[in-house]
Amino acid sequence: MTTLPTLSTGIRNARNVVHYLFGAGAIADLSAILDGHCHNTSRTAIFFIDHFFRNHNLSEGFNAVTSGHQIIYVDTTGEPTTSFMNFMRDRVVADSAELPCAIVGIGGGITMDVAKAVSNLLSNGGDAEDYQGWDLVRLPGIFKVAVPTLSGTGAESTRTCVMTNTASGLKLGMNSDFTVFDQIILDPDLTRTVPRDQYFFTGMDAFIHCMESLNGSYRNAIGDAYSSQTMQLCRDVFLGDDMMSDENRAKLMVASYLGGCAIATSYVGVLHPFSAALSVVLGLHHGVANCITMRAMEEFYPEGYSEFYRMAERQGVSIPEGVCRNLTDDQYERLYAATIIHEKPLTNALGEHFKDILTRWKVRELFLRM
Amino acid sequence: MTTLPTLSTGIRNARNVVHYLFGAGAIADLSAILDGHCHNTSRTAIFFIDHFFRNHNLSEGFNAVTSGHQIIYVDTTGEPTTSFMNFMRDRVVADSAELPCAIVGIGGGITMDVAKAVSNLLSNGGDAEDYQGWDLVRLPGIFKVAVPTLSGTGAESTRTCVMTNTASGLKLGMNSDFTVFDQIILDPDLTRTVPRDQYFFTGMDAFIHCMESLNGSYRNAIGDAYSSQTMQLCRDVFLGDDMMSDENRAKLMVASYLGGCAIATSYVGVLHPFSAALSVVLGLHHGVANCITMRAMEEFYPEGYSEFYRMAERQGVSIPEGVCRNLTDDQYERLYAATIIHEKPLTNALGEHFKDILTRWKVRELFLRM
């Protein structure tokens, strides 16, 4: 077991996904990959699968892959909370006294985040809320695999899994090297069945966090390179004729992965804190919450703002409107608090005196524009 | 120990470097990283360092980092052979009966390749020639760290270490997941002292292999994304005012890393086989051999060819000329054989009937143009 070194320069030691398979049909290799970790043991793998696939075929021959293993469908209706993560862990523990040989997450950001969190909890003990923060996980998780069926969040390549604390309402992930997947399978065939709106909203997550990074003060050449390439791929996809062509689904899957890599050495900016507040207070999903927040972002990101609307128009996607009108004073106060708590990204975007810019009144006015 | 799975789709399961640190001054964190692997053991780390640094200061305070460990300077005058790799391994074994806790390679492609090869040989036994090929290494090597002091080869991120077989003359690496570094430290301050010509020749390695990949028939969206971004960074660097400014040295270091990542899911093309022949038969270094080969590549890569010469002109770098004039028939024959043996890249570029295009006569004519 490697000791986590404390570094003196303050430069982040970025952690990559160990293996990635990329290509149409790549999911067919999942069996062989699990064999490498599960054979010669009597142990089973746990498949966390988005509940959408309870009634939809994931890929031909997929039933054979899960045979002898345990499937747990993940209800992705709401954003995950710490209680939800603990509940998912309990589902695994209830069915077997033995640790699984592998955890596989098949779905979008939420399902992948469940796989990450449960993998860490099974090895480390305790509850999800114990690990919200930075580098609190002490032991490597169970061998974990992601198979994204939705592109944009970058959950397949980041070192966090996002969850809202059930007690405090704080949205904060388990940021740890041990949260990173050991293996990911990027198979663009799996995003064929995504509804067009959801494909756009989630895809824009990659565009948006890279736009924020490139406009921040905390910059470096490797984060910039990942961000630039991600944004270029998003332009190819969303300014093209059909954002869901085979070629574009492949490109968006790459954009999502590289966008996640960009996050490893950079920070987001103004948009993500507002979007997080929409999720925490109004329960909106992250992807659509980002797009809604964009309505109020012209003054901070004028170029990204106009590019965003060109893309939405090109693809005929309409963004929900007016979601923050007619809220109670208490709700506006909670939105303010849930925004302003994200000090790192807000400092990255606006400097350390960001509260002088984002006053209570200003924040409320921005939410009203959404 | 994980069993290497045999995959059914034929898609490569790409292996990333596990950790990377990027930033000016990042080498200061090497000590802390080694502490994580070497503390609580009496074992030492082995530092393979380019012999250039025998008389040049690598960084302030670097002596303290190597204190208690063993330094072996690597003579990088010639391209490495299998005997050279074995000799380097013997140097380590002669000094200690115990395996080192870590192997650190500090230098350019050759020095990093020595670190990779020796790390694998120490764990696996046998000699370097036993592992020339694909996936012949059976066990993980000693924990290995790269600190590049020259940008372009991508050795810091690839799964091979290049060497020429002393007996057969075949230039072929140890292609293995176990060849990939566990940790790399990308510190652009370390390339300040590189001579301008060498900086250009080696930097162009990244540009050239990505140009070849993007013009091949074996393509995929992730390899393309890495290659496009690498070429864009090279354009920024070499079409800019000063290719060695702080900003450009940082960018070229990123280009080298991402160029190496591109190689993981793609192939090179026509240029690298000719360049490899120049190295094997005439002993030319890989970087300069690539640039010399470019002289004969206009018909295969017209755009890359003209971009290359714009960059060389912009930076005032002259490319050696006439290196294949007045050779013996035997030398031309060996050049032909050493080119044509690289079937995968030549098929990628020209199709499976590449020998109909690259006849003996044509190959000789191309070498004469260099």
The model's pLDDT over A64-103, given as tens digits with 9 standing for 90+, comes to 889 889 999 999 998 899 999 999 999 999 988 889 999 9
Which residues of B, range 86-145, sit inside 8 Å of A by Cβ?
none
Distance of CA B234 to the CA centre of its chain: 17
Domain ranges of chain A: 19-191, 196-368
Write out the H or E segment, with its range, that includes residue B225.
helix B221-238
Distance CA(A355)–CA(B214), nearest Å, equals: 47
Give the burial class of A47: count Cβ atoms within 10 A of its Cβ; 0-12 exposed, 13-18 middle, 19 or more buried.
buried
CATH of domain A19-191: 3.40.50.1970
Is A271 near chain B, with CB under 8 Å?
A: no
Distance CA(A281)–CA(A46), nearest Å, equals: 32
pLDDT at residue B188 is higher than 70: yes
CATH of domain A196-368: 1.20.1090.10
Please write the tens of the pLDDT for every residue from B107-161.
Answer: 999 999 999 999 999 999 999 999 999 999 999 999 999 999 999 999 999 999 9
Q: What amino acid is encoded at B129 in this protein?
A: E
Across the interface, whether the CB atoms of B26 and A8 are under 8 A apart is answered: no
The secondary structure of residue B317, as a DSSP letter, is P
Question: Residue B7's pLDDT is what?
Answer: 74
Q: Say if residues A190 and A248 touch (Cβ distance below 8 Å).
A: no
**Other CB atoms within 10 A of residue B32 CB:** 17
Please write the tens of the pLDDT for every residue from A222-267.
Answer: 999 999 999 999 999 999 999 999 999 999 999 999 999 999 999 9
Q: What amino acid is encoded at A210 in this protein?
A: C
Q: Looking at residues A105-125, what average pLDDT do you find?
A: 98
Dig out the tokens for A69 from the structure: 């293993």
Q: Looking at residues B183-212, what average pLDDT do you find?
A: 97
At B107, give phi and psi (nearest 5°). Answer: 160, -155
A contact test, residue of B1, B15, B16 with most A CBs within 10 A: B16
What percentage of residues in chain B have a pLDDT greater than 70? 98
Across the interface, whether the CB atoms of B229 and A228 are under 8 A apart is answered: yes
Q: Say if residues A134 and A15 touch (Cβ distance below 8 Å).
A: no
Give the burial class of B352: count Cβ atoms within 10 A of its Cβ; 0-12 exposed, 13-18 middle, 19 or more buried.
exposed
From the list B8, B183, B257, the residue facing A28 with the nearest CB is: B8
Question: Residue A5's pLDDT is what?
Answer: 57
Q: Say if residues B11 and B74 touch (Cβ distance below 8 Å).
A: no
Structure ipTM: 0.95
Give the burial class of B26: count Cβ atoms within 10 A of its Cβ; 0-12 exposed, 13-18 middle, 19 or more buried.
buried
Distance CA(B44)–CA(A54), nearest Å, equals: 54
Is A26 near chain B, with CB under 8 Å?
A: yes
Distance CA(A200)–CA(B144), nearest Å, equals: 41
Question: Residue B96's pLDDT is what?
Answer: 83
A contact test, residue of B22, B249, B258 with most A CBs within 10 A: B22
Distance of CA B89 to the CA centre of its chain: 19
Is B217 near chain A, with CB under 8 Å?
A: no
Distance CA(A302)–CA(A1), nearest Å, equals: 48
Pairing mode, if any, of strands B19-22 and A13-15?
Answer: antiparallel
pLDDT at residue B285 is higher than 90: yes
At A148, give phi and psi (nearest 5°). Answer: -70, 140
Q: Which is nearest to B146 in space by CA: B121, B177, B117?
A: B117
Q: Measured between alpha carbons, how far is residue A166 from residues A81, A113, A365, B285 in Å? A: 6, 16, 28, 61
Please write the tens of the pLDDT for every residue from A183-230.
Answer: 999 999 999 999 999 999 999 999 999 999 999 999 999 999 999 999
Is B20 near chain A, with CB under 8 Å?
A: yes
Distance CA(B344)–CA(A285), nearest Å, equals: 46
CA of B18 vs chain A CAs: smallest distance (Å):
5
Question: Residue B6's pLDDT is what?
Answer: 63
What percentage of residues in chain A have a pLDDT greater than 90? 88
Dig out the tokens for B300 from the structure: 């295969």
pTM attached to this predicted model: 0.96
